[in-house]
Each structure stands twice: as C-alpha cells, then as structure tokens.
Structure 1
Amino acid sequence: MLELKNIAYRYKGNDNKTLENINYSFQSGVFYTILGNSGSGKTTLLSLMAGLDSPTEGQVLFNKKDIKEAGYAQHRKKNIALVFQNYNLLDYLTPLENVQLVKPTADKQLLLDLGLKEDMLTRNILRLSGGQQQRVAIARALVAGTPAILLDEPTGNLDFDIARDITMRLKDFAHKEKRCVIMVTHSREIAHMADTALQLTGDNLKELSKESIAQSILQQRNL
C-alpha cells in the first residue's frame, strides 16, 4: 500500500541528511509502530509519508503510484488521515463537532469508547485536557475513512492504562477495517503491542522482534 523507496531527506541549509536510504513497504490491515531516538527523523518520516513535505531523494508510493505525481494535496485528501502531536483541532467547536467536520453522520459513541465522558462532548475543546484533546483527534482520524492513518506519538500525554487501551483500539481498527495504521511512539511497551514494530535510525528502518522489545523493556525496568 504505502512504500518508501530509497528515501533521503536533508533540511535546507544543512549538509547532513536526517534520513538516508530508507526503504519499507507498509500493508493494509496491519498496525505498525515506529520507535526511534529523539532526532532520528520519526516525525520527518511521517511528514514525507503524508505528503506534507517531499524527500530530497527517493519516492513515496501509494498503491504503486508516486504521491508527488498524483499530487500531495490529493494524497492527503484521499489516502491519509493524520493525528498530530499538537492535535490541530478547531478550538471554537466541541469534540463532537470536530469529529463531524470530517464525517457529518458521526455519533458520540466513538468518543465515549475512547474515554471521553458524556458531559465533555459538548464542551469547548479548550476546556479539555491535552490527553482528552488527543482522543478527539484520534476519533477524527478514525472516522475519516482513509486507507491509511498516521499518528505522531498520540499516547504521549496519556497515562499508561489509557494509552494501552487506545493502542489496542487502533490495532483492532486496523484489523477490522483493513486499514494501514502507523504510529510513532517513544514507548517500547506500546511498540510491543503492534503487529509490526519498527526501529528508525537516520539510515535504516528495520523490523524489531517481539523478543528484542520485551528484553529491552526488562532491561529498562532493572536499571
């Protein structure tokens, strides 16, 4: 579905490449997580896959077509739903109204399933906590109906129990709806829940085994 071919990226005015020779093919019906150290290029990679920026070298393909040739705006409209770290919600609307901007027929149940309470649904967005706003952003992405959903650390502001619940909902959604769901995370516990966990360094995007992630989690706990 979504394929990275020899991707390299360099910020303007910087001779060093943030990303280099990145290759991977993402499939529908699979929930992916991407781990990486700060500065490894995780958010940059999501931006390239979403068509928010263009690679210095290489191609991003969607269903074997270069998204540059298809048109970045068209790619974002038809193929990709995004969940940003800063939510990108309309602050003069309620949670339900934000979701209904994407799908007018959406009801409140998804927001309730994601952990919002009934009385929160008609509040102004600015009266919600950061974690609550993030859940609204996730709901908005889920109702968009796009083949792929990209999420930039959506559980970073949530406590672990809620983060785990939302992660499992995203995984279940990928399976049931046959969507490609790709989530950047800094948490190895969250990454361990994915169908496929990936590790990003500047010049490599590789799959991690469940065993290696579990071992890393144990090592962290024993420090």
Structure 2
Amino acid sequence: MSEPLISLTEVTRRFGTGAAAFQALRGVDLRIDEGDFVAIMGPSGSGKSSLMNILGCLDTPSGGSYRFRGLAVESLSRDQRALLRRHALGFVFQGFNLLARTSAQENVELPLLYRGEPATQRREHARAALASVGLDGWGHHSPAELSGGQQQRVAIARALVTGPSLLLADEPTGNLDTERSREIMNLLTDLNRDKGITVVMVTHEADMAEYAHRVVRLVDGRIASDVRQAERQDGGGRA
C-alpha cells in the first residue's frame, strides 16, 4: 500500500494541567490518501477544531504521531511547520478573512508576497487562480463589491494560488445561503476531482458532507465512525 498523504497515530491533544486539564483529542488514528475528500463532523466540543489545527500545522499533538508524506510533523520546529504550511497547505475559513481595503487580485496575491515571489509572477498566478474559481475579470473588485459566494471563491483562489497538496476548509459554507453553498461545494468537488487536490472539510451541515468521499465523525475527542460514501448521481460531489 502506498504511503498516505496524512497519517495520524494515537494523536492526543491536552489543554491545561492538573484538575483543569481538558483532553480535546483522545488517541485519534486517521489515514488520508492523496486525492481524498474528507468531511469531519461532530458536536461542539468533539475535537474538530483541535484536529484541524493539528492537520494544518497550526498546533502540535500532546502525544502520538502526525506524518505528512512520511515527514514527522511533530518533530519540526515552528519555522519548519510554517514552511510546510506555506508550500503544501491551503486554508479556507467560514468568515472568508479577506482584506477589506484591497482588491480580489491583491488578496489572492498575498500568500505569494509572503513567499517573496516577484510582482509580475504574483499577478500572473493570482489571475490564473481567480479564473480557476470562475472569477476571471473580477480581480479589480473589492470584497465589498462581491457577493458572499464570490468572496468565498476569492478565499479559495487565495488558498489555491500556492499550489497546495491539501486544502483545509473550516465550515466553508457556514455564512452562505443554500444556493451559494452548493456552488462552493461543487467548486471544491471539481478541484478535488480535476486537479487532484486533497480536501479536508469541517462542517456541521449533513447535506454539505454528502459531497465528500468520506465522513469522519468525532465524539468526545475520538473517531466514532469513518464511512466511505457512494458517488452522487447529480454530477456534483458524492453522497
């Protein structure tokens, strides 16, 4: 069997010490292969955010092992984890997190600016990323001039512009109406299917989770179920 993109073995995450300690994750084992699309669900306090923070190299486990393409992430320094985030991971959030006083183009260029890419190259890559999410020609608009769905598309373009292997989406449709939510989920499905980008998404919406290949449910810091789903018949995602 080929090496997975992500492998978690007996991962724990504890906050605080003594009587005030809280165990957010309690021995999580999880394998995610290249090209997978995984929805993570669970009630409040189940450990979803802690798991996503560890997968996104924003936090480290208290115990256990996290391997990304065989690399032991928990052994990396803070700077090394930042480099891994910068070059291999893309993030999409519920609140879009766009800079209000800059254009869509400039928002998408931002990760490339942090990487030190020349301006001409940044502009070219940002335009291509915007086109890939259906916003060709919208780069000069500010976030205030865009709908919620368009703002989330800009946020996805910003996540894609660095060419990540893994896209982490935290409630990506939480601020959108039903129609816009379906548009975003179809877009994530297309990126997963056509570009081979691995997607891990936290959601509390069962109908959005239907687009994923797998649904992993957390309860009290443990994986309660990990179910692979049948392919959807409507041309968008799975169910």
Runs of 5+ unmatched residues, structure 1? 212-223
- Which letter does structure 1 place at the counterpart of 2:16? K
- In structure 2, the CA distance between the partners of 1:116 and 1:177, relative to structure 1 (3 Å rule), is closer
Farther off after superposition, 60-69 or 97-106? 97-106
1:82 aligns with 2:104: no
Q: Is the 8 A contact 2:90 2:167 kept in 1?
A: yes
- In structure 2, the CA distance between the partners of 1:114 and 1:192, relative to structure 1 (3 Å rule), is same
Q: Is the 8 A contact 1:24 1:205 kept in 2?
A: no
**What residue is the counterpart of 1:5 in the other structure?**
9
Counterpart pick for 1:195 among 200, 203, 213? 213
**What residue is the counterpart of 2:227 in the other structure?**
208
Q: Is the 8 A contact 1:94 1:123 kept in 2?
A: yes
- Which letter does structure 1 place at the counterpart of 2:204? H
> How does 1:128-147 map onto structure 2 within 5 Å?
128=146, 130-147=148-165
Q: CA deviation at 1:12?
A: 2.2
- 3-state SS in 2 of match to 1:139: helix
- Which letter does structure 2 place at the counterpart of 1:12? G
Q: CA deviation at 1:158?
A: 1.0
Q: CA deviation at 1:53?
A: 0.8
Counterpart pick for 2:175 among 150, 157, 171? 157
**Number of matched residues?**
210
**What residue is the counterpart of 1:40 in the other structure?**
46
Identity %: 34
| RMSD between superposed Cα atoms in Å | 2.4
**What residue is the counterpart of 1:55 in the other structure?**
61
**What residue is the counterpart of 2:25 in the other structure?**
19
Farther off after superposition, 5-14 or 128-137? 128-137
Counterpart pick for 1:93 among 92, 102, 106? 102
- In structure 2, the CA distance between the partners of 1:116 and 1:39, relative to structure 1 (3 Å rule), is farther
CA deviation vs aligned residue, 1:122-155 (integer Å, no higher than 9, x gap): 2333555555433321121122201111010011
TM-score (norm 1): 0.82
- 3-state SS in 1 of match to 2:176: coil
- In structure 2, the CA distance between the partners of 1:159 and 1:175, relative to structure 1 (3 Å rule), is same
Q: CA deviation at 1:88?
A: 3.1
Q: CA deviation at 1:76?
A: 0.9
- In structure 2, the CA distance between the partners of 1:110 and 1:166, relative to structure 1 (3 Å rule), is farther
- In structure 2, the CA distance between the partners of 1:184 and 1:127, relative to structure 1 (3 Å rule), is same
- In structure 2, the CA distance between the partners of 1:142 and 1:135, relative to structure 1 (3 Å rule), is same
Q: CA deviation at 1:175?
A: 2.1
1:125 aligns with 2:143: yes
Q: Distance in 1 between matches of 2:91 and 2:197?
A: 13
Q: Is the 8 A contact 1:90 1:98 kept in 2?
A: yes
